[in-house]
Chain A
Amino acid sequence: MAGAAVGGRGCVTLRGAQIRDLLDAKHDVLFDCDGVIWNGETAVTGAPEVVSLLKQRGKRVFFVTNNCTRPRENYVQKFSRLGFTDVAEEEIFSSAYCSAAYLRDVARLQGKVYVIGCGGVMKELRDAGVPVAEEEDAEPGASIYTCPLDPDVKAVLVGYDENFTFMKLAKACCYLRSSECLFLATDPDPWHPLRGGRVTPGSGSLTAALETASSRKATVIGKPSRFMFDCISSQFGLDPARSLMIGDRLETDVLFGSNCGLATVLTLTGVSTLQEALAFRDSQEPQQKHCAPDYVMESVADILQALEE
């Protein structure tokens, strides 16, 4: 395969025939969502067609996102809304879904989970049959010294929560005093991009607060941790050597791919830049080198051109 560029975290820009050759060698393609196939409520131009075309060519396509704010059924609706046809719920792996799967299948939780998170996480936990500790409405006199604790809580899960308060932080910290209480985080992202180059605080910032309060480190479900790949693989049987990870964030998507032994592609339609990728490539530190992608594309639309030629 002389046309295929050599990987090795070299940040090689791929075009045309090189993209075709790479795809010929892969059976499964994993896409990050934000910044790769869509930005907010707008699909990246060509992305819906790319997904369809890959499936037509016999590839399996999966979506692996750290975004824990929606349950999978909402994602299905979003895909449809943005012009992606035939994306099935089973193909979507969010950190919310995978956190619930972890609690049910890996931790085999006996008891309840105390959640700092939003509707998406709650729904996935309920769908997975994982009991959630009820958040009592704050009584008028309730304070951080007197809030009741649920003795059935055996795990704490922290993720993006727009209703995050000091009280929740204090309660979670109380639960985490027991070393038997599991400590999970949906994802480590410190901030998320919004439209117009703005940002909003991410799960990682809330996790940092709780880790500091409890002097414990969370088990992180989302990228770059391996778990989401293991989750997909347990259902679909993936071979890392025949899988490709396409993402826009070097410290999450590319490092994830690297950690799982996948070939990695950075697209430039999202957070990270080519300059940042090259800086990781040229770094002396091994951990930083793992954040350098094998390949770089301007946009997933480049795949379209390659496949249509």
Chain B
Amino acid sequence: MAASKCTRLTGVLSRQLLDSVDSVLFDCDGVIWRGDQAIPGAPEVINSLKKNGKRVFFVTNNSTKTRQMYADKLGKLGFDASADEVFGTAYCSAVYLKNVCKLDGKVYLIGSNAMRQELEGVGIRPVGVGPDPVSGVQKDWANVPLDNEVRAVLVGFDEHFSYMKLNRALQYLCNPDCQFVGTNTDTRLPLEGGKAVPGTGCLLRAVETAAQRKAQVVGKPNIFMFECVASQFGLDPERCLMVGDRLDTDIMLGSNCGLKTLLTLTGVSTVAEAEANQKCECPQRQKMVPDYYIESIADILPALQA
């Protein structure tokens, strides 16, 4: 595809692009919603795609909600969607631990209740969720009681992140046989109301630094997120479109998996950044050039309704 890349998606091209795909994968934050507000026109686009016979999926690095919680949010904002169309990292990390890591035992979890629920949903028992303030003195911390059934450490977004959690994770990771997985490396977590706070990437860097080990990262741009969807729904990459707002996660994922890619400008990345990547010789940066870009996904609506 795309000998020419980074092309503005206009009406005619929109029609051609949509005809060339059967499935559309959407990132969420900055693409279909911002915080708790739908991007104007986004629900109509998704619903229209489905009426046009396209399959629609939601692929997000945000680990704070279960698939059902996402389905509830989508419903509330006017999107016609079901839980099994949603692939967040809480769910995908659980699947990854089960199927790729072949985890047999418990996981020490730095993460949310949503992650706990998704893990329990695939039959993995997490330990460690919730507040964990420090107690005792320094010499006690190396001797925190460790659960000897723990075979992996999983790090996701955790508002209760603390020195003690970092310490416990480190103690488990001193065992080289203990697996080390992170949900994603995004440095900021978008919040309701349009604000943002430090993201999972920061917590993961803290644990990686203390343990002097690198985590296996589940989220975009790792191809696992796409493989998770594809294996459940039998997708053909060449007939898939990835729509996202971040060049380094969404578009990179699309490039890695051989999908068509569309950058929307309602989120993080800009056309200038995409064009700068395009001019660069570096293969890694070339993967962060979308086939097309569009101001907002709402701009596809005319092509769908034609």
Contacts and interface: CB of A to CB of B under 8 A. Distances in A.
Interface of A: 40, 69, 144-145, 161-166, 169-170, 173, 190-191, 194-196, 198-202, 204-206, 208-213, 215
Interface in B129-143: 133-134, 138-139, 141-143
Contact of A205 (B158, B164, B166, B197): B166
19 contacts: A164-B163, A165-B161, A166-B159, A166-B160, A166-B162, A169-B198, A170-B198, A194-B138, A199-B170, A199-B174, A200-B138, A205-B205, A208-B202, A209-B198, A209-B203, A212-B198, A213-B187, A213-B199, A213-B202
Contact of A191 (B134, B188, B197, B212): B212
A145 B193 contact: yes
Contacts of B138: 69, 162, 194, 200
Interface in B171-211: 171, 174, 187-188, 191, 193, 195, 197-199, 201-203, 205-211
Closest 3 CB pairs of A and B: A198-B142, A213-B198, A205-B210
Given A161-B163, A165-B162, A201-B167, A210 B202 contact: yes
A201 B143 contact: no
Centre residue among B193, B197, B212 by max chain A CB count within 10 A: B197
Given A162-B141, A213-B188, 7 more contacts: A145-B193, A162-B138, A164-B163, A173-B197, A191-B210, A199-B170, A209-B203
Question: Interface on chain A toward B: helix, strand, loop, or mixed SS?
Answer: mixed
Given A165-B161, A166-B198, A195 B206 contact: no
Contact of B170 (A164, A191, A209, A210): A191
A166 B161 CA distance: 5
Contacts of B141: 162, 194, 200
Contacts of B171: 198
Given A213-B187, A213-B198, A200 B162 contact: no
Report, as a range, how many residues of chain B touch the other chain: 35 or more
A201 B166 contact: yes
B198 A164 contact: no
Contacts of A173: 197-198
Contacts of A198: 142-143, 171, 174
B209 to A, nearest CB: 4
Contacts of B161: 165-166, 169
Given A194-B139, A198-B142, A208-B209, A170 B134 contact: no
Contacts of B159: 144, 166
Contact of B197 (A40, A170, A210): A170
A195 B193 contact: no
Nearest to B185: A212
Contacts of B162: 163-166
Contact of A201 (B170, B187, B199, B202): B170
B116 to A, nearest CB: 17
Contact of B134 (A162, A205, A211): A162
Nearest to B169: A201
Contacts of B210: 190-191, 199, 201-202, 204-205
Contacts of A164: 162-163, 166
A208 B206 contact: yes
A199 B142 contact: yes
A145 B191 contact: yes
Given A169-B202, A209-B198, A215 B207 contact: no
Contacts of A200: 138, 141-142, 167, 170
B174 to A, nearest CB: 7
Given A208-B209, A209-B205, A144 B166 contact: no
A92 to B, nearest CB: 20
Nearest to B160: A166
Contacts of B158: 166
A144 B64 CA distance: 15
Interface string B64-92: 00000000000000000000000000000
A212 B201 contact: yes
Contacts of A199: 142, 170, 174, 210
A162 B207 CA distance: 14
B209 A163 contact: no
Contacts of A208: 202, 205-206, 208-209
Contacts of B208: 208
A206 B160 contact: no
